[in-house]
Structure 1
Amino acid sequence: MASITTNSTSFVSNLREQIEYPKSGVLSKVLIKDNNCQHTLFCLATGTEIAEHTSTRNATVTVIEGRGILTLEGREISLEAGVFVFMPANAPHALQAQENLAFLLTLSEHHSHEN
Structure 2
Amino acid sequence: MTTDLVSAQSPVLNLRDRLEYPEAGVLSKVLFQDSACQYTLFCLAQGTEISEHTATRNATVQVLEGTGTLTLKGEAVPLTPGAFVFMEANAPHALQASSNLAFLLTLSATV
Q: TM-score, normalised by structure 1?
A: 0.90
CA distance in 1, matches of 2:70, 2:54: 13
Equivalent residues of 1:65, 1:102 under 8 A apart: yes
CA distance in 2, matches of 1:46, 1:6: 28
Q: TM-score, normalised by structure 2?
A: 0.93
Structure 1 segments of 4 or more deviating over 4 A? Answer: none
Match of 1:37 in 2: 37
CA distance in 2, matches of 1:29, 1:41: 5
**2:13 matches 1:13:** yes
Cα distance 1:88–1:4, how it changes in 2: closer, same or farther (>3 A)? same
CA distance in 1, matches of 2:6, 2:21: 26
Q: CA RMSD in A?
A: 1.6
Q: How many matched pairs?
A: 109
Tell me by how many angstroms 1:36 deviates. Answer: 0.3
**2:88 matches 1:109:** no
CA distance in 2, matches of 1:63, 1:57: 19
Question: Runs of 5+ in structure 2 lacking a partner?
Answer: none
Question: Runs of 5+ in structure 1 lacking a partner?
Answer: none
